[in-house]
Every structure is written in C-alpha cells, then in structure tokens.
Structure 1
Amino acid sequence: MELIIENVSKVFTNDNKVHTVLRDLSFSVQEGQFVTLLGPSGCGKTTLLTIMAGFQAASGGRILLNGSQVTKPGPDRGFVFQNYALFPWMTVRDNILYPMKQQKVPAKEQEQRLQRLLAIAQLEGKEKLYPHQLSGGMKQRTAFIRALAGSPEVLLMDEPLGAVDFQMRQNLQEELESLWLTAKTTVIMVTHDVDEAIYLSDRVIVMSALEGKVLEDLSVKLPRPRNRKDREYIKTKEHLMDLLKIAINKRPESTETQRKLCLA
C-alpha cells in the first residue's frame, strides 16, 4: 500500500475573493504507518483529509492510492469523524455491519469479521446497545472498528478525540493506540493536540497556516507504549510546540523566515 499526495492545491472563492488553503503539498505514506497532520486551525489539514477521502476535489495536483487516482469516496478508505457519526437508531452490531452490507460481504464472513472486531475493541456483550447507551470510550471504539469493518487500506480520522474532555482524552489515546497496534491499518489523523500527535504517531507532519506548507515531517521513534514523562518525549513535545508558534504566523513575508527556522 502506498498513498501519494502530489502537488495538491485547494482554492476557495468567496465574494470574488480567492483564498488558497493548500498550495503544492506533497508527501507519501507507507503501509502500516500512523501519520498525523498537526497544525493550527485553518491550516487546511481537514481539507486535505477530505480530499484524500474523496469528499471534495483538489484544485490542483492529485492523490494516488496504489497508483490509482482518488476522485471519489471508496471502500479502500475508511473515515472516522470527530463526533463518531454512529447511526443512533442502530445497535453496535448493526453499526459495525453496515459498511459490510453496503459492500455485499457474504453473511458468514460478515459475522466472522464482526466477532473479530468486537474482540479487538473489547465490546463483546455490548452488541445490542444503542449509541446513547454507550460511554464516550465505547462510542469511540465502535466508530473506529466500524471504519475498519469494510477492510479499508487507509483509515482517515478527523480529530477523533476532539469531542472528548481532557480527563478522558489520554485514556482514549491509549485505547486507540492499542486498537491500531492490533489492526495495523495505515492511519492518517488530523489533530491540533501536540501531545496526542506524539503519543500516537510514527510521523507528525506539521502544517503552516500559510497555504498549508509543510514545516516539518518529523519521524517519532520513541518506543511504545510511550512514556509522557520520558525526557525525549518532552523534548519532542517542546520542539513541536516551537514549530506551532511558527505555523500560526500567517504573514506571507514570513515564509523565508519559517523556512530557515525549520532547517536550523
């Protein structure tokens, strides 16, 4: 599996004013990687994620998955929304089965896949519950394995823990990491939370508010499970915080300064 983002640009026009959100963005993602797009609000990270999903088209450039250009949504890409987007009228079981039924997976295979996913997410015995009967953690796990139910090659997640309060967030990050380590699906996640990016990711791509420029593509080589009090963890966090201070500077004249700071 290889996902290639090649010179992707996105331009919006409003009241005859042109706003460039992304300009000539390029990078690639290899199979099994957990990659996070990190940046301030308005830097285009969610826009880029939805282009990868096929929910909207790029203004320029292209996205290739295994050599084929992405032009529309498809079962090869799962998507987890910030608010989980579970069907409230469906049980946990029916929510997870839904993408499999859409793909017309044989009934026997549906059941086998369902049981495996429930085991991964530790949701056995919760199949008959409805979303309103689930805790925040259960909703998050259900949304994650529902996205996996269609066997996507890439899982796209838009701030999957953004709706969770701070006290629960770290626990859910640990649960999410455990699910990913078991499933080993390629993941691209959007977040604005530096600690979350470090804890979960193999790579952190830091985007600037200035046309979504990549300030740094940082490889996180800390051992798992990660210790948030570890010296290298804290050092990495401080480095990314410094980059984010650069990222929020939207002034066009700061581009050269940003480039020099990132290379320093």
Structure 2
Amino acid sequence: MRISELSEQADLPVGTVKFYLRSGLLHQGQLVSATQAEYDETHLERLRLIRALLEVGHLTHAEIQGILDALAKPPGQMVEALVQVYDAAAKAARYDETDLTPALAAVRALGWSIDPESPHLAWLARAISALESIGLPPSGERMQVYGAAALLAAENDIDWVMDADPDRTVLRAIGSSVLWGSVLGALRVLAAEDVSRRQFGEMTMALRNLGAEPGQFQQTPEDPDDEPEASIPVAD
C-alpha cells in the first residue's frame, strides 16, 4: 500500500506517518521508485502500537523507541527484551532524582521482594509524596488493600505473558505493563461508581453532574412520606 492508504487505515495524518518514518519509530517501506515506497501490514501494526503507547500509555517517543527496540531483539535475548520493556513502562528516566525511601518502606511493609534499584520504585515514591504533600498520607491499611489488589493482578499478568507463544511474549509484556495498567486504573474508578450507586442510589448521578443547573438532577423519593411538605403561605 502507498503511504496515503497506510495513513488512512491507521487513522493518522500523512504528516504524522512521515514523522515516525524520519524519527525511526516506523521502519522504512520497500522502495518502488526514487520517490515512492510500498508499505505492508507490519507498518500498520507498528503504527497502531505506537498510537496505543502514546495515547493510552502516555509514553514519550524515547520510551516508545525503547519498547520497539525490545520487540526487535532475537528470541535468545528474551530476558533482556522483557527488562527493557518494563524499564520503559516505568518511565524511569523521568524520575532520576526521586527519593525512593517512602516506596522502599511501603513495599517492605507489604512483604514484597523488590530490587532496591527497580525503576518502578520512583513511580510509587512520587505518588506517595504527592499524597503527603496535600495532607493525605497513605495509611498502612490503605496500602495493604491496594497492595493485595495489585498482587492479584500481577500474578495474572505474569501467567498471561509467560503463556504466550515465544514470538508474542514481548508484545504481551508491553500490553501488560503499559496498556493493562490503564485498564486497571479505569476499572477501579468504574468500580467506585458502581459501589456508590449501590450505596447511595441516584445521589451518585447528582455527583456526576455537578455542573448541571440547580434542580436538574434530584433524588426521587421512594416513599410518599419522604416527599417535602407543601409550603403554606403566610398571611401578611
């Protein structure tokens, strides 16, 4: 296919596709003349992956390049490829100066065996620091709850990745470490909405529509006795 068709199928502007070609994120096509090249399904798959990592994973171009480099490693370098994926997903280069002390204390309290040099510690440390900065330091109980949920998801992630065919293992690791993290975050918020609706009924809808005009969303009384009394005019 020509670049215009590739652009259309990937739902990206031609200029964006050309930028990815120039930057090396997208491999070159097969030249058919001095000024034209043909592209195939591998280019389309690569563009879809780049877009997912950029728009959903919020990775930088440099981090995406690290992941693409991992995908290109031969089967004999599977371990190195997986490490490279997880390092890029941790966005470690952004947090070089982060104090890891709170994160190390948190994972030790959870009883986890974590490499003190793990790039993922900075991510946790910054989140804990942000909570503390606004007067919401995470309690041990809250950390245990979140830790238990994370451990359950992580065990399933590892099984899913290692159950893949060898030529799909690194791709699944990318999906697990970058995209499924976004799924987990979204599901947690949606679960909170479900719990709120079951506990507080239609009040949840009012909370979700705080920008609505006054009176537009009101809780419907379930019992006639709950309806407000009619106002009684007072004589002057």
Higher helix share: 2
Higher strand share: 1
TM-score by length of 2: 0.25
Which of structures 1 and 2 has the bigger CA Rg? Answer: 2
TM-score by length of 1: 0.23
